[in-house]
Amino acid sequence: MRWTPGDRSNIDDERGSSGGGRRVGVPIGLGGIIVLLVLSWATGTNFLSLLDSGGPPPDGVGASRPVAATPAEERTVDFVDAVMKDIQTTWQTLLPDRYETTRVVLFRDAIRSACGFAESATGPFYCPGDSRVYLDLGFFDELQQKFGAPGEFARAYVIAHEVGHHIQKLTGIESRVRELQRSQPPGNNAGNALSVRMELQADCFAGVWGHAAAQPGRAARGMVELEAGDVDEGLRAAASIGDDRLQRMAGARVAPERFTHGSSAQRVEWFRRGLDTGQPDACDTFGRETR
């Protein structure tokens, strides 16, 4: 990827005021998913679809202190800011009358959001309550080392996916799906199926941005531009976090009725659909078969 550092105006840097404590709740995220899948498998409860309801802060969270970071980490902060700016510029063009800007909140170890408290093991997540994306930069190392998805575009895909959930909130999709999930009787797997469609749509929305970023000549204008091999990195990332693969990694049998994010094949299919078309209308996972 080719990108230019900016002014970090798309970042809320909470690395110096987060950390410590124990997790009080579990917001939706991409990482930490293996542990949650094991719990879901054992109990039949969809832990991945639950948002934390909040409560008193864990000990140590909120204590401000200087940020000690390596040059490599600071470059990653610049990368997140550049990608976030580019993603938002794309969506401002696609949804000129509806898009509202958001920010990435960077944290370490644990953080409080309007959706409650989370540890870094939960992974990146979007909180509808405060319209923010939350990210511990350590997840990028996990993405490469645990899930086998290295590369900058793999990281950018994660950010773009979470912004996809922001698009769902702005367009009313998120609220309608949550209402439908709440209306489901206990033990009904329809709630999980709705979660899958939500996540696959966020993958497709991530691909819509990737389509824009693949257009030539963008780097000369100070924008993000994909290079040869980047798309493969993104598709590899999408495949690496499919529910079927994660269930196998957790030592469990593949149980489609307990999927919450979609299979590897589904995630790749919908991400590629966005990449190929560049059109949000192509991302109607609720009106199409997701196989």
The reply to whether 257 falls in a domain is: yes
Domain extent for 88:
11-283
The reply to whether 6 falls in a domain is: no
Read off the pLDDT of each residue in 189-213 and give the average, rounded to a whole number: 93
The reply to whether 289 falls in a domain is: no
The reply to whether 290 falls in a domain is: no
Q: What is the pTM of this model?
A: 0.84
The reply to whether 159 falls in a domain is: yes
Mean pLDDT of the residues in the chain: 85
Domain CATH code at residue 94:
3.40.390
pLDDT at 270: 97
Of these ranges, 34-43, 189-198, 267-276, the one predicted with the greatest mean pLDDT is 267-276
Which residue is associated with the tokens 């997840």? 139
The reply to whether 66 falls in a domain is: yes
The reply to whether 288 falls in a domain is: no
Q: What is the pLDDT of residues 8-52, one digit of tens each?
A: 999 999 998 877 443 334 444 554 555 454 444 433 444 444 444
The reply to whether 75 falls in a domain is: yes
Contacts for 42-45 with beta carbons within 8 Å, 24 or more apart?
44/187
> Which has more confidence, 43 or 283?
283
DSSP state of 64: -
How many structural domains is the chain composed of? 1
Decide: 1 and 224 in contact? Cβ < 8 Å.
yes
Rounded CA gap, 77 and 30, in Å? 19
